[in-house]
Structure 1
Amino acid sequence: MKTVVITEFGGPEVLEVQERPIPKIDADEILIKVKAAGINRPDIFQRQGKYPAPEGVVQDIPGLEVSGVIENIGADVEGFQVGNRVMALVPGAGYAEYVKVHYGAAIQIPVQLSFENAAALPETLYTVWHNLFQRGNLQKDETVLIHGGAGGIGSTVIQLAKLFGAKVVTTVSSEEKENFVLSLGADKVINYKNEDFEEVLSSSKVDVILDYIGGEYFNKNINVLREEGRLIYINAMKGAKVELNLFKLMQKRISLSGSTLRNRSASFKQSLMQEIVKKVLPLFEDNKFHIPIFKKFNYYEASKAHSLMESGAFLGKLVLVF
Structure 2
Amino acid sequence: MHAIVISEPGPADVLSWSEVPDPVPGPGEVLVDVAATAVNRADIAQREGTYPPPPGAPEYPGLECSGRIAALGPGAEDSGWAVGDEVCALLSGGGYAERVAVPVGQLLRIPSGVSLVEAAALPEAAATVWSNVFMVGGLRSGETLLVQGGGSGIGTFAIQLAHARGSRVIVTAGSPEKLERCRELGADVGIDYRREDFTARVKEETGGAGADVILDIMGGSHLEPNVRSLAVGGRLTIIGLMGGRKAELDLGRMLVKRLSVHATTLRSRPLAEKAAIVAGVAEHVWPLVDEGAIRPIVDQTISLPRAAEAHRIIESSTHVGKIVLSV
TM superposition score category, shorter chain reference: over 0.9
How far has the Cα of 1:284 moved from its partner? 2.2
How far has the Cα of 1:105 moved from its partner? 0.5
Q: Which residue of 1 aligns with 2:275?
A: 270
Counterparts of 1:261 and 1:126 in 2: how far apart (Å)?
8
Q: Which residue of 2 aligns with 1:288?
A: 293
Say yes or no: does 1:72 pair with 2:39. no
Q: Which residue of 2 aligns with 1:100?
A: 101
How far has the Cα of 1:135 moved from its partner? 0.1
Q: Which residue of 1 aligns with 2:183?
A: 182
Counterparts of 2:21 and 2:304 in 1: how far apart (Å)?
17
Q: 1:251 aligns with which of 256, 267, 270?
A: 256
How far has the Cα of 1:266 moved from its partner? 1.3
How far has the Cα of 1:19 moved from its partner? 0.3
Counterparts of 1:202 and 1:168 in 2: how far apart (Å)?
13
How far has the Cα of 1:75 moved from its partner? 2.8
Q: Deviations over 1:157-187 (max 9, x none)?
A: 0000000000000001111101100100100
Counterparts of 1:216 and 1:126 in 2: how far apart (Å)?
25
1:107-256 to 2 correspondences below 5 Å: 107-203=108-204, 204=206, 205-256=210-261
Amino acid at match of 2:34: V
Compute the RMSD of aligned alpha carbons.
0.9
Counterparts of 1:66 and 1:261 in 2: how far apart (Å)?
15
How far has the Cα of 1:25 moved from its partner? 1.1
Normalised TM-score (structure 1) = 0.98
How far has the Cα of 1:199 moved from its partner? 1.9
Question: SS where residue 200 of structure 1 aligns?
Answer: helix
How far has the Cα of 1:27 moved from its partner? 2.0
Amino acid at match of 1:52: P
How far has the Cα of 1:138 moved from its partner? 0.1
Counterparts of 2:42 and 2:312 in 1: how far apart (Å)?
14
Q: Deviations over 1:174-231 (max 9, x none)?
A: 1110110010010000001111101212343111001010222110011111110001
What runs of 5+ residues in structure 1 fail to find an aligned partner?
none
Question: SS where residue 22 of structure 1 aligns?
Answer: coil
Q: Which residue of 1 aligns with 2:62?
A: 63
Contact 2:149 2:171 in 1 (8 A): yes
How far has the Cα of 1:269 moved from its partner? 1.4
Counterparts of 2:275 and 2:203 in 1: how far apart (Å)?
40
Question: SS where residue 216 of structure 1 aligns?
Answer: helix
Structure 1 residues 216 and 75: alpha-carbon distance in aligned structure 2, compared to 1, 3 A threshold: closer
Normalised TM-score (structure 2) = 0.96
Counterparts of 1:111 and 1:222 in 2: how far apart (Å)?
39
Question: SS where residue 202 of structure 1 aligns?
Answer: helix
Q: 2:309 aligns with which of 280, 304, 311?
A: 304
Counterparts of 2:186 and 2:249 in 1: how far apart (Å)?
33
Question: SS where residue 25 of structure 1 aligns?
Answer: coil
How far has the Cα of 1:58 moved from its partner? 2.7
Counterparts of 1:224 and 1:271 in 2: how far apart (Å)?
31
Larger displacement relative to structure 2 (106-115 or 6-15): 106-115
Amino acid at match of 1:65: E
Question: SS where residue 107 of structure 1 aligns?
Answer: strand
Question: SS where residue 199 of structure 2 aligns?
Answer: helix
What runs of 5+ residues in structure 2 fail to find an aligned partner?
none
Question: SS where residue 314 of structure 1 aligns?
Answer: coil
Counterparts of 1:127 and 1:36 in 2: how far apart (Å)?
19
Question: SS where residue 140 of structure 1 aligns?
Answer: coil
Counterparts of 2:231 and 2:290 in 1: how far apart (Å)?
35
Counterparts of 1:284 and 1:252 in 2: how far apart (Å)?
36
Say yes or no: does 1:7 pair with 2:12. no
Amino acid at match of 1:153: I
Question: SS where residue 46 of structure 1 aligns?
Answer: helix
